Structure 1
Amino acid sequence: MAIKGSCHCGRCTCSLCSKRGALWAYYTPAQFRLTSPPENVATYLWGSRTVKHHFCAGCGCGTYSESPDWSTGKPDFDNPKVGVNARLFDDFDLDAVPVTVIDGKNLW
């Protein structure tokens, strides 16, 4: 099922607070398609520069990330993942899907 999302650009100011946090939904690169022009995407690399954190260059909303699979606690570069900020999904009920909380701060 295709899901469409958008950042804060072109929306009323009250939506900014609801879109600031990230709730990551993970996909394989083959399952992800960026429909925005690449020049609208800015990238932040932190620490080991292993994960590309992308955000909207216009409004600053964190949109998606590209990284190795970390499900074992170690980076698996042979199985990359795309984390999409599910809080940006339009017309989608986040309460209807299960959420697994991963303590990334203390896990690694």
Structure 2
Amino acid sequence: MQYKGSCHCGAVAFEAEGELSGAMACNCSICQRRGSLLWFVPRTRFRLLKGEESLTTYTFNKHAIQHRFCKVCGILPFAEGKMPDGTPMAAINIRSIEDIDLDGIPVQHYDGRSL
């Protein structure tokens, strides 16, 4: 299935393809504060439709994940990094996806604080 999403102001828009059967809530120092629900897809199944110039990037700790924020409204629609096997991935904040029922998506809790 194909999903579309954006930041709050619409300066950044994307689409992703895959089966959205669940999301992850992480308790690491950034995710806990941000409140994102993350869905991981191979980077080849993610496409930025507009807004590269409106994005800024934040990294911390091991600098393994590039957290991509809209410079206009501050929303993080996605992050980029690598899967454990080295495959490039996008971590999509499902809260930024259009027309989905968040209550219908199972959420797995991840203890990122312990890493």
**Which residue number corresponds to residue 15 of structure 1?**
none
Which has more strand, going by share of residues?
2
Aligned length: 92
TM-score by length of 2: 0.72
User: Can you give the 5+ residue segments of structure 2 that lack an aligned partner in the other structure?
Assistant: 11-33
Q: Percent identity?
A: 38
- Give the number of the structure whose alpha-carbon radius of gyration is greater: 1
Residues in 1 aligned to 2:52 and 2:5: alpha-carbon distance in whole angstroms? 16
Gaps of 5+ in 1: 11-19, 71-75
Stretches of 4+ aligned residues off by more than 2 angstroms: none
Residue by residue, what CA displacement relative to the aligned partner does 1:23-58 show, whole Å, maximum 9, x if unpaired? 111100111011122101110111222110101111
Residue 66 (structure 2) pairs with residue 52 (structure 1): yes
Q: Which residue of 1 aligns with 2:94?
A: 86
User: Matched residues in 2 for 1:2 and 1:64: separation?
Assistant: 16
Partner SS for 1:100? strand
Tell me the amino acid that sits aligned with residue 95 of structure 2.
R
Task: Give the 3-state SS of the residue equivalent to 1:90 in structure 2.
Answer: coil
2:47 is equivalent to residue 39 of structure 1: no
Q: CA RMSD in A?
A: 1.6
SS at match of 2:92: strand
> In 2, distance between residues paired with 1:8 and 1:61?
6
Q: Following TM superposition, by how much is the alpha carbon of 1:80 offset from its aligned partner in structure 2, in angstroms?
A: 2.4
The answer to whether residue 103 in structure 2 is matched with residue 95 in structure 1 is yes
Q: Report the AA paired with residue 30 of structure 1.
A: T
Q: Which structure's relative contact order is higher, taking Cα pairs within 8 Å and 6+ residues apart?
A: 2
Does 1:23 pair with 2:46? no
How far residue 21 of structure 1 moved from its aligned partner, in angstroms, is: 2.7
- TM-score, structure 1 as length reference: 0.76
Distance 1:29 1:97 in 2: 22
